[in-house]
């Protein structure tokens, strides 16, 4: 097991409905040392990629993407989930359905921050059905930019998102892939990764 899988076993909590709570260290309270370690791991897995921007989606994605952007020495851009009065009209937009929150959002990125010259590393905390990720990918493609790779903290391997993204041919790196969870025993099984 890697450092994130070990931490999930130690502090993750399985809830009914295939909900994995990692809010004590990842997406409500954040262990900055762990985040920095994840940033270095993503930097290693995408080493040599000509990354010019790291793209994530608010809110918890920002904490995962921050150390990645530092390691690559590039700006972090986060997609916003609703149109703010502070955003220009000139936006890339995508419809995203949240598995967790059971709602739909329009995610937006200002056209000033993604261009055809950009090589984008997409980072997010969770991958389940992949809707959020597909929205980010479509925004990058709307910009004519290149998706250099996709880094995810926790992938739910028993849901469809990861297979879809890999079938689309993207380099998808998930630090932990949960194959199964049991909320009655609290057991969490991870996919073996080379």
Residues lying near a second copy in the complex (CB under 8 A): 15, 19, 21, 23-24, 28-32, 35-36, 58-60, 62-63, 66-67, 69-70, 73-78, 80, 82, 84-87, 100-102, 109-110, 112-113
CB of 168 vs a second copy, minimal distance in Å: 26
Residue 11 or 168 having the CB closest to a second copy:
11
Collapsing DSSP states into helix, strand and coil, what is residue 113?
helix
Contact indicator for 51, 148 with CB cutoff of 8 Å: yes
* CA distance to 9, 44, 113, 156, per residue, from 126 (Å): 16, 20, 24, 8
CB of 166 vs a second copy, minimal distance in Å: 26
CA distance 124 to 62: 8
Calculated CA dihedral for residues 141, 145, 150, 153, nearest 10 degrees = -90
Residue 82 or 193 having the CB closest to a second copy:
82
Which residues, other chains included, contact 61 with Cβ-Cβ below 8 Å and sequence gap of 6+? 78, 123, 124, 125
Contact indicator for 128, 143 with CB cutoff of 8 Å: no
Residue 66 or 190 having the CB closest to a second copy:
66
CB of 124 vs a second copy, minimal distance in Å: 13
CB of 77 vs a second copy, minimal distance in Å: 5
* Furthest C-alpha separation in the chain: 50
Residue 116 or 169 having the CB closest to a second copy:
116
CB of 91 vs a second copy, minimal distance in Å: 10
Residue 69 or 150 having the CB closest to a second copy:
69
């Amino acid at each position: 097991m890697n450092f994130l899988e070990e931490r999930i076993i130690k502090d993750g909590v399985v809830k009914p409905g295939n909900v994995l709570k990692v809010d004590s260290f990842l997406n409500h309270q954040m262990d900055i040392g762990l985040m920095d370690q994840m940033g270095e791991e993503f930097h290693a897995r995408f080493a040599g990629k000509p990354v010019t921007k790291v793209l994530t989606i608010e809110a918890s994605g920002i904490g995962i993407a921050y150390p990645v952007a530092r390691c690559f020495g590039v700006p972090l851009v986060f997609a916003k989930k609703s149109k703010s009065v502070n955003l220009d009209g000139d936006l890339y937009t995508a419809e995203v359905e949240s598995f967790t929150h059971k709602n739909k959002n329009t995610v937006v990125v200002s056209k000033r921050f993604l261009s055809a010259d950009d090589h984008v590393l997409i980072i997010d905390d969770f991958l389940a059905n992949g809707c959020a990720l597909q929205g980010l990918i479509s925004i990058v493609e709307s910009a004519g930019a290149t998706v250099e790779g996709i880094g995810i903290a926790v992938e739910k391997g028993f849901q469809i998102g990861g297979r879809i993204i890999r079938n689309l041919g993207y380099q998808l790196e998930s630090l932990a892939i949960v194959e199964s969870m049991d909320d009655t025993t609290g057991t969490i099984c991870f996919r073996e990764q080379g």
